[in-house]
Amino acid sequence: MAPPGLKVTVKRWSAVASWTWTADDDVCGICHMALDGCAPGAAGPGDDSPVVWGKCAHNFHLLCISTWLQSKTSCPICRRNWEFAPSAPPPSATLAEDG
Ligand SMILES: [Zn+2]
Ligand SMILES: [Zn+2]
């Protein structure tokens, strides 16, 4: 009897629990400019180019994510549903699997 053909099913997986943010890479994930620098279209760095955090722990210039959210609802980096976080998460934060 011939062995049944092997069928390999690659399950799609999402790395929701992994922590990919690196503190050494303080650039905006959208425009790739420094987060403490000036976003494209901003009058200048600092108060004129505020940085916002998402609950997924990715951060972007407010101008950049605002433009992005005009056509998308997900984080540009991790594709999680974008939600603004009230403040930057602590460096040791771990993401809870909330489904
Ligand atoms: Zn930016
Ligand atoms: Zn993200």
Spell out the per-residue pLDDT of the chain, length 99, in tens.
656 666 666 566 554 444 454 444 689 999 999 998 888 888 888 888 899 999 998 999 999 999 999 999 999 999 999 999 987 666 655 555 655
Task: Find the ligand nearest to 42 CA.
Answer: 1
Is 3 inside any structural domain? no
pLDDT of residue 77: 94
Domains contained in the chain, number = 1
96 in any annotated domain: no
* Cα distance from N-terminal residue to C-terminal residue, the chain: 44
Could you tell me if residue 47 is inside a domain?
A: yes
Containing structural domain, residue 36: 25-86
Does 13 map to a domain?
A: no
In a domain? residue 99: no
HEC string of 9-37 equals: CCCCCCCCCCCCCCCCCCECCCCCCECCC
**Which residues have C-beta within 8 Å of that of residue 50, sequence separation ≥ 6?**
61, 62
Look at residue 10 and tell me if it is in a domain. Answer: no
Q: Is residue 9 part of a domain?
A: no
Find out whether 31 and 62 touch, Cβ atoms under 8 Å: no
User: Quick check: is 70 in a domain?
Assistant: yes
Nearest listed ligand to the Cα of residue 59: 2
- Cα of 42 vs centre of ligand 1, distance in Å, is 10
- CATH code, 73: 3.30.40.10
How far, in Å, is the centroid of ligand 2 from the Cα of 92? Answer: 16
For residue 94, the model assigns a pLDDT of 57
Ligand 1 centroid distance, CA of 78 (Å): 16
